[in-house]
């Protein structure tokens, strides 16, 4: 028992180590060519389906293909949406196991590749030391250890699975089907291989140990149990990798439910097809046909819903950064009404500009934690500007009048101003972060004073807590402060015999801070102008409505209830 527990823990450790090595190796080895190749394999869901089917049929392990796919997602080589087709295809490709058992027997073992992969991978790693080929070697070692880990897990539970006396379960009807379904799930989780579980099931059915429907339920259970591998591999993985694992669970469990509901129907259909084409009616062939048919049926049902599933998955496991990059006031319903869209864009951009100036204030505190927090916020803000720009393009063009078109054009220019400010602040934060570990100089003190002056000037134009509208600030004090700070920095650098690269870096930071102020000032000026234009428009509409109501009243077009 102790030996089995040790083998279980060791196999699990090897398995998790292999996943980490594959992810790290792929991330380091990923050049543009490899990334393009992987992307082309799964550019469309149909191509991903074919790629997943072929790869799984070759390696005889849907778990291996799924975990490799998670590794690619972890390494950022392919997107979450691209992997969905591969996940569907892996389920179709794994049906090859049933056909191998039914037609030629289960003799093909992928573990034969494991040791050569580890040997070749380590040779590459030792010979190259560093670089792309060394990283490829690391990924190969990870693949090899993955198979070794699976083999150790199978060995640890071989005795447990071998002790199952399948003939003792004689329950019939729904309860009997559910018992055998759970047996299939448990066997697959224990062996970490749906192929091994299906092979055992088909062998048991061929030996008349269990009935055809019971074996069918166990095959369905194997499809559910194989999701445990992806769930295990997603522990500690990226958010997109977790979404891919959830996609496999949704697809496999959904397919299993359909197969359970149609269990008698599918077997009757298989019997008719076998009779029609003169195929063998042996249990092994019937189960192979059953496994293939319900997986294909699952693909046919999920494919029309692929985009909706992807949208749903993108809302799961959201991080704070992803939530921070989502628009607060924009959605598809607002885009259909241009007038409402302009108002929503105004609110979104005002909130974005306010976050940007707060981020600048965070950076000028010159504490490492604050600078790091600012850098994380800038990543979210950059993504948010992209979302806002895409929203502007999606607004219903046919319903636009000249005035609204002008407002949207100003909004696009505003997004560019904000984006430029984000880029400048990114560069400034990199300098401030680098200077954190260096001794302070008089030049740094002059630069810091200038940063605080900028923040005070720009913050004066923000909307105050009582909700009064933001005002356009005068940028001239910033320009004056810039000239003074630049002179002070140069003089201080010469007096202290500061290194040229340090002095140049400080001057570049000064320039980026001024550029940030200019970009944010342009954005703030556009925002204030748009707010005033929209207020004027709304007042004009109100005045026109009141005038129309007066005219109707004088001409007797309003009845006693006040309705026209």
Residue pLDDT, tens place only, 233-265: 777 666 777 888 899 899 999 999 998 888 888
Say which DSSP state 120 is in. H
* H-assigned helices in 45-192: 45-59, 62-74, 80-93, 96-103, 114-128, 132-162, 173-191
Please state the rounded mean pLDDT for residues 529-538.
Answer: 77
Does the pLDDT of residue 557 top 50, yes or no?
no
Residues 6+ away with beta carbon under 8 Å from 410? 526, 529, 530
**Better-predicted residue by pLDDT, 445 or 360:** 360
Best CA proximity match to 83, nearest among 97, 91, 94, 73: 73
How sure is the predictor about 52, in pLDDT bands with cuts at 50, 70 and 90?
Answer: confident
The string of pLDDT tens digits covering residues 298-310 is 999 998 888 888 8
Range in 19-28, 172-181, 265-274 with the lowest mean pLDDT: 19-28
**CB 144, CB 137: distance < 8 Å:** no
- In angstroms, the CA 92 to CA 252 distance is 11
What is the arithmetic mean of pLDDT over 97-116?
64
DSSP 490-503: HHHHHHTT--HHHH
Tokens of 124: 């590459």
Q: What is the DSSP letter of 498?
A: -
Q: How far apart are CA 234 and CA 210, in angstroms?
A: 35
Sign of CA dihedral 215, 285, 269, 266: positive
Instruction: Tell me what pLDDT residue 307 has.
Output: 86
* 18-22, 69-73, 414-418, 448-452: range with highest mean pLDDT: 414-418
Q: Which two tokens stand for residue 545?
A: 């409505």
DSSP category for residue 399: G
Residue extents of the structural domains in the chain = 2-317, 321-534
Mean pLDDT of all residues in 468-487: 75
Question: Which one, of 247, 352, 240, lies nearest residue 298 by Cα?
Answer: 247
Q: Average pLDDT, whole number, for the chain?
A: 76
State the Cα–Cα distance between residues 19 and 116, nearest whole angstrom.
18
Buried b (16+ CB within 10 A) or exposed e, 502-532: bbebbbebbebbbbbbbbbbbbbbbbbebee
pTM above threshold 0.75: no
pLDDT, residue 376, reads 81
Q: How far is the C-alpha of 461 from the C-alpha of 76, rounded, in Å?
A: 41
User: Higher model confidence: residue 254 or residue 327?
Assistant: 254
More confident: 332 or 541: 332
State yes or no: pLDDT of 430 exceeds 60.
yes
Question: 463 phi and psi, to 5 degrees?
Answer: -65, 130
Is 424:356 a contact under the CB 8 Å cutoff? no
CB 222 within 8 A of CB 188: yes
Q: Return the closest-CA partner of residue 150 out of 111, 116, 120.
A: 111
Instruction: Give pLDDT, residue 38.
Output: 52
Distance of CA 418 to the CA centre of its chain: 25
What is the rounded CA–CA span in Å between residue 432 and residue 415? Answer: 25
Q: Is the pLDDT of residue 354 over 70?
A: yes
pLDDT recorded at residue 207:
67
Q: Is the pLDDT of residue 48 over 70?
A: yes
Q: What pLDDT is stored for residue 469 in this prediction? A: 45
CATH architecture assignment, domain 321-534: Up-down Bundle (1.20)
- Could you report the per-residue pLDDT of 168-178, keeping only the tens digit for each? 544 467 777 88
Structure tokens at 359: 């981020």
In this predicted structure, the answer to whether residue 14 has a pLDDT above a threshold of 50 is yes
Rounded CA separation 235/241 (Å): 9
């Amino acid at each position: 028992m102790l030996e089995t527990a040790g083998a279980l823990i060791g196999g699990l450790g090897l398995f998790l180590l292999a996943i980490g090595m594959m992810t790290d190796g792929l991330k380091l080895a990923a050049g543009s060519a490899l990334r393009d190749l992987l992307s082309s394999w799964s550019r469309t869901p149909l191509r991903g389906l074919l790629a997943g089917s072929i790869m799984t049929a070759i390696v005889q392990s849907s778990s291996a293909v799924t975990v490799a796919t998670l590794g690619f997602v972890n390494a950022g080589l392919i997107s979450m949406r691209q992997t969905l087709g591969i996940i569907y295809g892996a389920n179709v490709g794994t049906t090859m196991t049933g056909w191998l058992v039914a037609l030629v027997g289960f003799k093909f073992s992928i573990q034969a590749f494991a040791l050569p992969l580890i040997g070749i991978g380590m040779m590459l790693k030792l010979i190259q030391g560093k670089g792309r080929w060394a990283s490829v070697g690391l990924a190969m070692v990870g693949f090899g250890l993955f198979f070794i880990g699976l083999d150790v897990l199978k060995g640890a539970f071989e005795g447990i699975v071998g002790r199952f006396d399948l003939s003792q379960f004689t329950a019939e009807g729904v309860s009997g089907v559910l018992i055998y379904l759970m047996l299939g799930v448990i066997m697959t989780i224990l062996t970490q291989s749906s192929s091994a579980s299906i092979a055992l099931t088909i062998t048991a059915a061929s030996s008349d140990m269990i009935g055809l429907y019971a074996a069918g339920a166990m095959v369905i259970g194997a499809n559910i149990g194989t999701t445990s591998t992806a769930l295990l591999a997603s522990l500690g993985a990226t958010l997109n990798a977790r979404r891919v694992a959830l996609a496999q669970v949704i697809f496999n469990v959904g397919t299993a439910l359909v197969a359970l509901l149609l269990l008698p129907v599918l077997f009757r259909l298989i019997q008719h097809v076998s009779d029609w084409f003169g195929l063998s009616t042996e249990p092994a062939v019937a189960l192979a046909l059953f496994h293939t048919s319900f997986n294909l049926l699952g693909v046919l049902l999920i494919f029309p819903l692929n985009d909706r599933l992807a949208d749903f998955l993108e809302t799961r496991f959201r991080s704070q950064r992803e939530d921070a990059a989502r628009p607060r006031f924009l959605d598809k319903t607002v885009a259909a009404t241009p007038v409402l869209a302009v108002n929503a864009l105004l609110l979104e951009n005002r909130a974005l500009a306010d976050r940007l100036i707060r981020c600048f204030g965070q950076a000028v505190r010159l504490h490492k934690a604050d600078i790091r927090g600012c850098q994380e916020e800038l990543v979210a803000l950059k993504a948010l500007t992209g979302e806002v720009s895409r929203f502007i393009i999606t607004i219903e063009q046919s319903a636009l009048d000249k005035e609204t078109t002008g407002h949207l054009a100003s909004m696009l220019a505003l997004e560019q101003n904000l984006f430029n400010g984000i880029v400048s602040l990114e560069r400034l934060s990199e300098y401030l972060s680098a200077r954190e570990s260096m001794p302070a100089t008089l030049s740094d003190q002059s630069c810091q004073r200038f940063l605080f002056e900028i923040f005070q000037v720009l913050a004066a134009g923000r909307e105050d807590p009582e909700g009064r509208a933001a005002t356009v600030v005068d940028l001239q004090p910033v320009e004056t402060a810039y000239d003074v700070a630049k002179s002070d920095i140069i003089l201080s650098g010469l007096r202290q015999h500061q290194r040229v690269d340090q002095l140049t870096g400080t001057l570049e930071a000064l320039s980026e801070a001024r550029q940030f102020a200019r970009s944010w000032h342009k954005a703030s000026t556009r925002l204030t102008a748009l707010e005033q234009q929209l207020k004027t428009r709304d007042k004009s509409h109100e005045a026109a409505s009141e005038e129309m109501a007066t005219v109707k009243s004088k001409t007797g077009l309003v009845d006693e209830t006040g309705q026209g």
